[in-house]
Chains A and B, each alone.
Chain A
Amino acid sequence: DVKVTQSSRYLVKRTGEKVFLECVQDMDHENMFWYRQDPGLGLRLIYFSYDVKMKEKGDIPEGYSVSREKKERFSLILESASTNQTSMYLCASSRAGGRREQYFGPGTRLTVT
């Protein structure tokens, strides 16, 4: 059974803190993605990675960075959290070929106060 896990379901951080969101997949997928989901705005792509140590900006990368040191792990970093980064964060992974359907983790609901 495919599995994508995220380090926390709920997280509360203070403005200005550095925040790490971790995502691990056990499907040997090449591609990994980070989205944020906000009511009325749907899912928006923050960053994605097609291979270890590679990263590409998505539609809303400002205020975020990522790290992919191992194939199975993709980390999202908020260098200095702000209240407008309060959101649901979803990680996903997919194969590099074929249908490339994405499999998602359970999400992390981040609140920045």
Chain B
Amino acid sequence: AQKITQTQPGMFVQEKEAVTLDCTYDTSDQSYGLFWYKQPSSGEMIFLIYQGSYDEQNATEGRYSLNFQKARKSANLVISASQLGDSAMYFCAMREDNQGGKLIFGQGTELSVKP
């Protein structure tokens, strides 16, 4: 069974608008971490934001925020005020603490920002 599900293979957003990228996860662990990565066309994976399972507040990093709904097992990424440089693949990932430092990645969402 998929542990990380990203249901949107591709998304379009107008420049300067906000966009939400969906991620749901499946784990029976109580202690885990959730991550979002950005992969531009150059290929390098860039770490964006982290949410721990015990964190009560939603994580924010600049224009990125993580909408964490623990009961629904969702960890959506919200990008505010989209820029052309935000066009990239975005991956959601999970670390289960009983599995050490390994990450499980979703299939990714390709975001295209229109001028």
Contact between B43 and A94 (Cβ–Cβ < 8 Å)?
A: no
Supposing A40-B107, A42-B108, A94-B101 touch, asked if A104 and B45 sit within 8 A by C-beta, the answer is yes
Cβ of A99 < 8 Å from any Cβ of B? yes
Question: Which of A103, A104, A105 has the most C-beta atoms of chain B within 10 angstroms of its own C-beta?
Answer: A104
Contact between A50 and B107 (Cβ–Cβ < 8 Å)?
A: no
Number of A-B contacts (CB under 8 A): 55
**Size of A's binding interface in residues, CB under 8 A:** 25
Cβ of A12 < 8 Å from any Cβ of B? no
Q: Which residues of A contact B101 (CB under 8 A)?
A: 31, 33, 48, 50, 94, 96, 100, 102
Q: Which residues of A contact B106 (CB under 8 A)?
A: 42
Q: Which residues of B contact A40 (CB under 8 A)?
A: 107
Per-residue CB contact flags for chain B residues 71-115 toward chain A (1 = under 8 Å, else 0) read: 000000000000000000001000100001111011110000000
Question: Which of B44, B45, B52, B95 has the most C-beta atoms of chain A within 10 angstroms of its own C-beta?
Answer: B45
B residues with a Cβ closer than 8 A to A are: 33, 35, 37, 42-47, 50, 52, 91, 95, 100-103, 105-108
18 new A-B contacts, CB < 8 A, other than A42-B105, A104-B46, are A33-B103, A40-B107, A41-B107, A42-B91, A43-B45, A43-B91, A43-B105, A45-B103, A48-B101, A50-B101, A90-B43, A92-B45, A100-B101, A102-B35, A102-B45, A104-B45, A104-B47, A106-B44
